[in-house]
Amino acid sequence: MPTTVFDQFTRRTADVTAQLTTLGIPLTAPTPPPADPDLDDPWASSYTVPVDRSTLAWCTAAQMLADHHHTGIDHQVLAADALLRELGVRGLAQLHTDLHHGAPIDYRFTPCPYCSGIGEDPTQPDCQDAGCPPQYEFAGHDHLCPVCRGADYQPQWLAEEHMPELEQLLADAIEEREERASLRYRIRTRLHRRTVRT
C-alpha cells in the first residue's frame, strides 16, 4: 500500500500518543502553579500556555529527547512540556541545536525533525485550512516550516555544488599553513643567529 509523506506525521503522533495512553499519562499537560505577581510590573501576565501532548510538535520533541537520551518517552514528558510551553514549535530548532552540542544545523544537509525535510508546515498543508486569502492559493504561497524555515533538503545536489568550494578552502588553508611555516622558520633562524653571536 503506497504511503504519502504526510502519513509519517500521523504515524509519529499516533505512536507517541499510544505510548502515553498505555502508560496512563494524560494527553493534556497540567497547568503549572501560578507565578507570584510582579509588583514592579503591573502589566505582567501569569498566563501559561496550555500544552496539548497529542500535537505533532509535542510528539516530535518527546521523540527527539527520548532518542537522544536513550530513554522511554515517559521520562521526557516534562521536558517536552517545558520546551513547548516556553518556546513553542520554534523551540524544536533550539532543541535540535542543543542536542548537537550547540552546533548550528544546516537543514539543507540534515532533515528537519518536524517536517522531515519537506520545508512546509505539516500541520497546515493548504491555504484553505490556514485561512489565507484566496488569491494566494495559486500563487506559489507556501506555509514554511517554523523549524527549518523552508530549507530545501537536498544533500546530494548541494554536496555537488559545495565540493569545489570546499576544495578551494582546503587549498587556501594548505597554502596559508606553508606560508606560516616558512615565516616561523625564518624567525627561528634569526633568533638562533642572535643567540649564537652573543
**Number of domains making up the chain:** 1
C-beta of residue 60 within 8 angstroms of C-beta of residue 11: no
Label residues 85-121 b or e (16+ Cβ within 10 Å = b): beeebebbbebbeebeeeeebebbeeebbbbbbbbbb
Inter-residue contact 148 to 90 (CB < 8 Å): no
Let me know if residue 174 belongs to a domain.
Answer: yes
Q: How far apart are CA 55 and CA 66, in angstroms?
A: 17
Amino acid at 181: A
What pLDDT is recorded for position 157? 72
CB pairs under 8 A, 24+ apart, for 121-130? 121/145, 121/146, 122/6, 122/9, 122/56, 123/55, 123/56, 123/57, 125/6
State the pLDDT at residue 60: 92
Question: Does 123 fall in a domain?
Answer: no
Range of the structural domain that residue 163 is part of: 156-198
List the pLDDT tens digit at each of the 198 positions of the chain.
446 667 788 888 889 889 888 888 888 877 776 666 666 776 766 667 778 888 889 899 999 999 999 998 889 888 998 898 888 888 899 999 999 888 888 888 888 999 888 888 888 766 666 667 666 666 666 678 888 888 888 877 767 777 788 788 888 888 888 887 777 777 887 777 766 665
Domain membership of residue 115 (yes or no) is no
pLDDT at 151: 84
Asked whether residue 19 is assigned to any structural domain, the reply reads no
Residue 160 lies in a domain: yes
Q: What is the pLDDT of residue 2?
A: 46
Does the residue 179 lie in any domain?
yes
Q: What is the DSSP string of 74-106?
A: GGSHHHHHHHHHHH-TTHHHHHHHHHTTTPPP-
The reported pLDDT for the residue numbered 9 is 83
Residue 62 lies in a domain: no
**The pLDDT value given to residue 1:** 42
Cα 28 to the center of its chain, rounded Å:
24
